[in-house]
Structure 1
Amino acid sequence: MRNFSEVTYFILADFYGMDDLKPVYFCMFLIIYMTIVAENVVLIGVIYSEKTLHEPMYLLLCNLAVNGLYGSTALLPAVLSNMLSHSHEISLQFCQIQIYTIHTYAIIEFTILAAMSYDRYMAICFPLTYHTIMSHRVVKLIVFTWLFPMLAFLIVFILTLQLRFCERTIENVYCVNYLLVKLACTDTSVVNIVGLLSVALFTLPQLIMIFYSYAHILRICIFSFSKSKLKALRTCTPHLLAITNYSIGCFFEIAQSRFNSSGMLYQTKLFLSLYFLIFPPILNPTIYGLSIQAIRLRLFRLFSSKNRQVQIM
């Protein structure tokens, strides 16, 4: 059995599958990261600069964009850096940091989406008191969506920090808790049990909130006039698309990491493992930017004024 202190780095084996296409992958991921940063920074800037958007729904959307930057920055710069390396190694400390940031990103994303479903429930089911109630609750909701995941994941993370490792090879392009625990040479039964319980802690409250909110929204729509149904559908569509997109990404990640993917094409495995870290941050600003008229108008005014300035110069 090796001493824990001997294992100071791990090898991210999936980088070796890129072979001679590394320049292509590097350019692709660089463009993706720049797009994520540009889209989310613009969305945050639009919400910050437009006073009419200083409402609970848009403040939660702003936090969704911040979390998108947080998650993609935890992943893509490290992926780009590793593509320039021949050894594809990651230190134990950086691997642990990456695990904490990526897992908290995932929990924060789902928690914000649950908070946004509650916001839509209040807006549709209690329209007369919505602004009064949510203006007092939105700050508490935002603080909770960040503090709960950060503190709750520490329970699992601290247990992982206590493990000793006998193997170095991680079958992925980034570190995740499940794959790191598999490399431990000590008993991991407690970590596995706590990990299973934490999945329920990190998902059930949010799922209950989402289903509860949309059950009541559906009930309101059934007994409403056609115009009210259309308005409710229009205001909920971006959120439902965001939840669907994130849920697909989580399913893909779990499917490729928990089950045997040795017979899977390299490109397919890479796509499935990176979906939940790339597509929500890149698609959420697009979904909301195209769906919400107030954001569309602000973006149109912003870019049209810039075009006029360029023409004058």
Structure 2
Amino acid sequence: MITDDYGRPVTSMRIQVNTTCNFKCFFCHMEGTGVHSEKMTPDEIERIVEIGHKMGVNKIKFTGGEPLLRNDIVEIVRRTRKHIDGDISMTTNGFMLPVYAEALKAAGLDRVNISFHSLERESFQFITGTDSMDKVIEGIKAAKKAHFDPIKLNFVVLKGVNEDQVQRLVNISAILGVRVQFIEYETTREGINSEDFQRYHIDLNPFENEISKSAVEIKHNILHNRPRYIVQTENGYADVEFVKPMMNSDFCNHCTRIRVTSTGLLKPCLMRSDNYIDILKEIKNENSEEKLTDIYLKAVRSREPYWKENYENSGKVLRTVQGYNGN
């Protein structure tokens, strides 16, 4: 197991397999990469997975864009499973899961995160730019039928758009037998005072405090030390997570993830774009495993908690965000 200079083990890898998507979610950060048209081949992705695994990575998540727009996505999962005996997952908008769910499961995919940011058709269309709610619901059903476990619904909470749906989704998740993941609207330090962030960001602490009152059990994920609640509802038990990255040093201090962009760049932190390291170029040049390993280790050494305690501008900038408590 490899650790960075802050003592954080790197055990998971998040791989962006493309940057195209059939949805137009207005808050999509495209894994912090901007939009690129290039994408790696299954061979190249497998090689990066292989290097990461030898350095202690045993958890892979595929993202996009929309990963299921790649017609070779099942092959990519199958190749990954050859090297990873831990968890392999995917974040998807669910639109194409009825087509791919069974094949992905057979190839070795363990679980899926399905983006589902609204229970109401109008706000769903506003967020995604599509009238595809019914198709996503079909995707959730297909994921259940394929026996992915767990199935997570990713729900970015947006002020004035869907925050009134939080408790309803908890109740519905209990009926469906899926986990719900409430995600804080996030941005970089430079984006905190932007019009969109000030308009849509909302503090998740009040929601978490209220939901925790009904918890019969409280857990914490290793990744980001995220709280997770087993909650008693009128429809049975719900499984609820909160993802609160903004100004959260505890979140960063428990980050075990390294990222790979669709163009084959190692990205040590989602929120930074100034320390990419190109591993794909070296793979294309058929460099030795020793050289590839050195490049990977360089990326690990470049990791740094984005929201560190005592960040020098915390008193000047970070407290402008609603709910920031100085931690």
Q: Do they fold alike, i.e. is TM over 0.5?
A: no
TM-score using structure 1 length: 0.24
TM-score using structure 2 length: 0.23
Higher relative contact order (CA 8 A, sep 6+): 1
